[in-house]
Chains A and B, each alone.
Chain A
Amino acid sequence: MNGASTNYFKPSLIAGAAFGAASGIPLLNCANLACCALAIGGGFLGSYLYLKELGPVAPPPYGPAAIIGLLTGAIGAVVAAIVALPFQMMGMAMGGGFSQIQEALADQDLPAGAERLITTLATGGGFVLALLVNLVLFSIFAVIGALIGVAVLARQR
């Protein structure tokens, strides 16, 4: 794969921690509402850090960038969940979407099973589900950010 270095973890860890922390803090995480800008930015940052170590390379290392994006997204989702935990305990951050389900469906005539599921999601289960959903979505957007980053930043040898 381009003969590019395979040290993907360090740039992914730095970028994932940075965008994950931002995604976990209320108000700051609103940037993600603009087409997941923080996750795309995190992937971009991961690519930048990787290319900085790698130096000029031809052709741009798209494969490694995708792996870095995937790792960055996964690390970011976990960091965001950890950072958001105290805010969530105060009812401010991640998992809020699942409480909204409960509010939205309050006046619906739902089967007992569905009501139980929604109650679970709005409490502890919502946190776990939000983490899983963010793992998938943040990874997708961080991969896209990392690929854009490598396309824009890679200097040809």
Chain B
Amino acid sequence: MSASRFPHPLLPMLAGGLAALPLLAPVATAQGAVAAGALIHAAFSAVCHQLAERSFVLWGQPVAVCHRCLGLYAGGFVGLMLLPWLPRLRGWLFERPRRLVWFSIPLLLDVALPFDTWWSRFGSGLLAAFPVAAILWMAWDEIFARQASRTPAREAAPG
């Protein structure tokens, strides 16, 4: 189980920023900041196919990532926001961490089956990333707990 009751505020902020950035591309383009919108699109071009027919459209412009990728980004953020209120689910996950694979089964089926829709792509992505937020939170706690425990020791060291 996670060491802290809530994740460090920076963690949901970073996850939320990653989820919001692709949405900013069409907003920027619609507001006349065409270069900024194109820059965000180009940045995500290395990690997503960005097919317009498989992406949400805002103000007549496609979002910088596809439905599934946006679902994955959103799932990390939603997980970090909701998991602090679901301690039993966290406990169940950390009891056998391999259980997070179960959350990816709908995504794998969605990829494999030919009748996927926008909501199945977005929803299965969101569900797959949701439990990953718990281990991301755990990793953050582990790294910074170690650093915190090192600092007083170093200060107390002689000479």
Contact = CB atoms under 8 A, between A and B. Distances in A.
Interface stretch (B32-40, B83-91, B151-159): B32-40
Contacts of A130: 46
A148 B100 contact: yes
Main secondary structure, interface of A, reads helix
A54 to B, nearest CB: 15
Interface size band for B = 20 to 34
B146 A63 contact: yes
A17 B135 CA distance: 25
A141 B138 contact: no
A36 B143 contact: no
Contacts of A67: 143
B78 to A, nearest CB: 15
Given A62-B135, A66-B143, A97-B42, A35 B72 contact: yes
A35 B48 CA distance: 6
B136 interface: yes
A92 interface: no
A32 interface: yes
B139 A62 contact: yes
B8 interface: no
Contacts of A1: 142-143, 145-146
Contact of B143 (A60, A63, A100): A63
Given A97-B41, A137-B46, A140-B18, 13 more contacts: A33-B49, A62-B139, A66-B140, A66-B142, A97-B46, A104-B38, A105-B34, A114-B35, A147-B132, A150-B135, A151-B97, A152-B98, A152-B100
